[in-house]
Amino acid sequence: PLAARDVFRNPWHFLAYGFGAGLARRAPGTAGTVVAIPIYLLVQLGGIWFYLGFTLAAFFAGIAICGYTARKMGIDDPSGVVWDEIVGYLISMAAAPLGVLWIVAGFVLFRIFDIWKPWPIRVLDRRVKGGLGIMLDDVVAGLFTAILLALAVHFLNL
């Protein structure tokens, strides 16, 4: 892992490490997802088109950001790189209603998919390398979460 001084001195590492959340000794991915919550709350204020544009831009930026830090570290997918969790959570919440229940449900479901890595997430995680590989498994985990949240809204009439 990178030292805190390296994370805070290099803007690429600072972003890749989720503004420092990736420095958490335990569960850095979970810490990165926690950081995503206030970002979600801010970005959703801009409306759906801003939200989707921001999330798409964060995804493409993440390919470069995560790829750069992984290359500098010489590790395929460093555990401290959590920008992918931030983007994955934003995808998870793209169509969710506002509210604490939905924020928590999205958080829990996203972490389950990101940790468990069911098919095809596991395949993507193993086969796609570089910045795209780091990002892609979290994107699919976010899509799975978004689908489950949308189904919950529809069938529970919430």
Cβ pair 3, 20 in contact under 8 A = no
Cβ pair 54, 94 in contact under 8 A = no
Structure confidence at residue 140 (pLDDT): 98
Residue with tokens 């997430």: 121
Structure confidence at residue 58 (pLDDT): 98
Structure confidence at residue 142 (pLDDT): 98
- Report residues of the chain scoring pLDDT below 70: 158
Structure confidence at residue 1 (pLDDT): 81
